[in-house]
């Protein structure tokens, strides 16, 4: 596709339920990133995938959060046993090659997660 796509655009769930958020990066981009943006806060790094290498999970806030990237393309962020503090916009970004540093990241439109 032309840009990074994410689904769903909005997700409302009940506390304690699991949710899955999907990201489809730009074709040919080897790097994929997940961020979280809460009201009044900056983008918070969650996890980074580079090709088929082991991901950098250093930003995941708890073991309830996990992510996969299948076939070096589509990624799924899973939040288990959701809590109200998980409510935020979850943004995915991709870049040509994260190892080059300079490569700009292209962001998707985000998934707005609301935990009731």
- Residues that bind other proteins in the complex, under the rule CB under 8 A: 4, 33, 35, 40-45, 48, 50, 56, 58, 91, 98-99, 101-102, 104-110
Residue 18 Cβ vs other proteins, minimum distance, rounded to whole Å: 25
In the numeric block, which tokens belong to residue 79? 């939040």
Nearer to other proteins, 14 or 40 (CB): 40
Residue by residue, DSSP assigns 28-93 as T--EEEEEEE-TTS-EEEEEEEETTSPPB-TT--STTEEEEEGGGS-EEEEE-S--GGG-EEEEEE
Nearer to other proteins, 14 or 41 (CB): 41
Distance CA 23, CA 44 (A): 17
Nearer to other proteins, 59 or 64 (CB): 59
- CA-CA distances (angstroms) from residue 55 to 64, 69, 84? 16, 9, 26
Nearer to other proteins, 80 or 109 (CB): 109
Residue 43 Cβ vs other proteins, minimum distance, rounded to whole Å: 4
Residue 41 Cβ vs other proteins, minimum distance, rounded to whole Å: 6
């Amino acid at each position: 596709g032309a840009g990074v796509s994410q689904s769903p655009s909005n997700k409302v769930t009940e506390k304690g339920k699991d949710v899955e958020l999907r990201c489809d990066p730009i074709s040919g981009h080897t790097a994929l990133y997940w961020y979280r943006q809460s009201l009044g806060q900056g983008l918070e790094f969650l996890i980074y995938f580079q090709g088929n290498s082991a991901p950098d999970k250093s930003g995941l806030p708890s073991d309830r959060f996990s992510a996969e990237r299948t076939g070096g393309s589509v990624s799924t962020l899973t939040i288990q046993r959701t809590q109200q503090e998980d409510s935020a916009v979850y943004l995915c970004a991709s870049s040509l090659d994260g190892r080059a540093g300079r490569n700009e990241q292209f962001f998707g439109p985000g998934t707005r997660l609301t935990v009731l």
